[in-house]
């Protein structure tokens, strides 16, 4: 990683691991420790917010320059030049997470037992920034986390279907972001850096039903850009057959503020309206919602099982 890239990321609170990975404390992990508030992943899926490690194995590598992305995009590259060992990344990511959390021990608002649990994370969100499927040893990385008793959430933009098709082992839960209902909006809003980005995403939707793990389609919704074509989303969701669908509002934070305005951030009521219409078109159940995250959960099963980090 070049020094300027490292400087920008570290200034933003990222702990750099090796040549291309990073860890950053989630806002909700801090909220969980300080104010006993938890993220929607705990409410929807059962993972413990304070025991979640948020990381990326491809911190400045992506196949898209989405307008709604919160990250600085001036240094984006598609492919990794030097690949670190997955065991090293896992061990160092845990070490960096502990380093970032250690200072909370002395805060009188923090429960000591909860802090001790946070120092031993049991869940990893392989997302953060960048596109994790560009890391060529992703299966080994997931396996290393599983060896340590972690549950794994992998978040991808779906432009590397061949990686998902051959991924072994699969993560505990696989997220695919589908933030455009058609190719025209995809090109304008997600700004692909590779050829055939849309067709590659469509291939990912086609192979999803064959992947034997829990699957989520996330619709990142940007007001004035991609919220009106609900019927088109329903058709795409029917191809993917996910276990869950998450319509979620774009949030006006980070560098996205240089590309969009606060008027592009949907209200929770906007998300509710979108979700109810999508549920009626897909036959999915309106299962849950979290207003402070502006997100709704639609599920294929009426009473889906939750995961556990215990």
Q: Where are the domains of the chain?
A: 3-299
Q: Enumerate residues 6+ apart whose C-beta is below 8 A from 229.
A: 181, 182, 185
pLDDT at 309: 62
pLDDT at 90: 98
Q: Over the chain, what is the mean pLDDT? A: 95
Domain 3-299: give its CATH code: 3.20.20.70
Judge whether 113 and 104 are in contact, CB under 8 Å: no
Burial 176-195 (b: 16+ CB within 10 A, else e): bbbbbbeeebbeebbebbee
Q: Enumerate residues 6+ apart whose C-beta is below 8 A from 103.
A: none
The mean pLDDT value for 113-126 works out to: 97
pLDDT at 76: 65
pTM of the model: 0.95
- pLDDT band at residue 188 under the 50/70/90 scheme: very high
Q: What is the 3-state secondary structure (H, E, C) of the chain?
A: CCHHHHHHHHHCCCEEECCCEEECCCHHHHHHHHHCCCCHHHHHHCCCHHHEEEEECCCCECCECCCCCCCCCCCCECCCCCCCCHHHHHHHHHHHHHHHHHHHHHCCCCCHHHHHHHCCCCEEEECCCCCHHHCCCHHHHHHHHHHCCCEEEEEECCCCHHHHHHCCCCCCEEEEECCCCCHHHHHHHHCECCCCHHHHHHHHHHHHHHCCCEEEEEEEECCCCCCCCHHHHHHHHHHHCCCEEEEEECCCCHHHHHCCCHHHCCCHHHHHHHHHHHHHHHCCEEEEEEHHHCEEEEECCCCCCCCCCC
pLDDT at 20: 94
- Whether 125 has a pLDDT exceeding 80, the answer reads yes
pLDDT at 310: 62
Percentage of residues in the chain having pLDDT higher than 70: 98
The mean pLDDT value for 253-273 works out to: 96
Length of the chain in terms of residues written:
310
∠246-247-252 over CA atoms, to 5°? 120
Q: How far apart are CA 237 and CA 280, in angstroms?
A: 13
pLDDT at 77: 81
- Whether 134 has a pLDDT exceeding 90, the answer reads yes
Higher pLDDT, 255 or 15: 15
- pLDDT band at residue 126 under the 50/70/90 scheme: very high
Which tokens hold the place of 76?
């984006």
The mean pLDDT value for 266-293 works out to: 98
**pLDDT tens per residue across span 97-116:** 999 999 999 999 999 999 99
pLDDT at 273: 98
Higher pLDDT, 249 or 72: 249
**pLDDT tens per residue across span 53-81:** 999 999 989 999 999 998 777 656 888 88
Judge whether 112 and 52 are in contact, CB under 8 Å: no
pLDDT at 70: 85
pLDDT at 55: 97
Q: Enumerate residues 6+ apart whose C-beta is below 8 A from 43.
A: 288, 290
């Amino acid at each position: 990683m070049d020094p300027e890239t490292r400087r920008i990321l570290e200034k933003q609170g990222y702990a750099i691991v090796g040549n291309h990975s990073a860890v950053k404390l989630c806002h909700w992990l801090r909220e969980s420790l300080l104010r006993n508030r938890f993220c929607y992943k705990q409410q929807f899926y059962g993972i413990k917010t304070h025991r979640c490690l948020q990381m990326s194995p491809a911190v400045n590598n992506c196949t898209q320059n989405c307008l709604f992305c919160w990250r600085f995009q001036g240094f984006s590259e598609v492919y990794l030049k030097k690949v670190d060992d997955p065991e090293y990344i896992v061990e160092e990511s845990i070490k960096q997470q502990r380093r970032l959390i250690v200072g909370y021990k002395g805060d009188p608002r923090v429960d000591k037992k909860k802090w001790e649990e946070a120092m031993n994370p049991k869940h990893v969100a392989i997302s953060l920034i960048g596109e994790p499927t560009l890391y060529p040893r992703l299966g080994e990385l997931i396996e290393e986390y599983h060896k340590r008793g972690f549950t794994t959430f992998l978040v991808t933009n779906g432009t590397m279907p061949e990686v998902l098709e051959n991924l072994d082992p699969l993560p505990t839960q696989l997220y695919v972001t589908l933030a455009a209902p058609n190719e025209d909006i995809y090109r304008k809003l997600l700004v692909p850096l590779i050829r055939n980005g849309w067709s590659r995403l469509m291939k990912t939707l086609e192979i999803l039903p064959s992947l034997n793990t829990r699957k989520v389609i996330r619709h990142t919704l940007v007001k004035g850009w991609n919220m009106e074509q609900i019927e088109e989303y329903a058709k795409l969701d029917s191809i993917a057959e996910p276990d869950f669908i998450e319509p979620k509002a774009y949030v006006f934070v980070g560098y996205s503020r240089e590309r969009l305005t606060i008027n592009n951030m949907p209200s929770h009521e906007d998300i509710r309206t979108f979700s109810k219409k999508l549920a009626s078109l897909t036959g999915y159940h309106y299962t849950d919602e979290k207003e402070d995250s502006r997100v709704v959960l639609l599920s294929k099963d009426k009473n889906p099982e939750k995961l556990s980090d215990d």
